[in-house]
Amino acid sequence: MIDRRRLLRTSGAAAVGALGAAAPSAAASAAEPARGPSPRPGGDPDPTGGVTRTLLQEHPSPAKGWETVQTLVQIPRHKESGRHSHPGVEVGYIVRGDVLMEFDDRPPLRLRTGDPFFIPEGAVHNARNVGKVTTMMLSTYVVDETKPLVTTY
């Protein structure tokens, strides 16, 4: 298991991996059609480049087998977090910026500075910065301590 406390800052997919992402197998990737939003005009070769996740705190939850993790996520203009899910709920707050929160199973949600958000356990989502400044999101997760914090798709 990766010690998330040692993760301070990293970018893009590397951050997801460092937080304990489970990478899909090559067979699963080939067998499943691509889901979620279509590629962006201009074809950004690194849509998650420059995204940082700073671990603020991590504590055992009062519920046995669960932990509480809090991060500060920063997404530069025209970048996105990448499609992912968590093994528990995410409760968040937009500190600064404008985000389009995209989901595989429901309509997107437009979030602006000062807006709270809630993402259910296992929901595949992507946070896309659609504003004019680097977006800052405070995210708190209550997750199964035996599973990776982030699974990418």
pLDDT tens digits, 133-142? 999 999 999 9
Answer yes or no: is pLDDT of 100 > 50. Answer: yes
Q: Which of 118, 86, 89, 113 is nearest to 99 (CA)?
A: 113
CATH H-level superfamily of 4-26+47-152: Jelly Rolls (2.60.120.10)
- The pairs formed by 31-34 with CB atoms below 8 angstroms and a separation of 24 or more are none
Name the residue ranges covered by the structural domains of the chain: 4-26+47-152
Q: Using one digit for the tens of pLDDT, what is the confidence trace for 15-43?
A: 444 444 443 333 333 333 333 444 455 57
pTM, entire model: 0.72
Q: Using one digit for the tens of pLDDT, what is the confidence trace for 64-91?
A: 999 999 999 999 999 999 999 999 999 9
pLDDT at res. 16: 43
Tokens 């932990």 locate to 67
Report the mean per-residue pLDDT for the chain.
80
- Under the banding of pLDDT at 50, 70 and 90, the label for residue 44 is confident
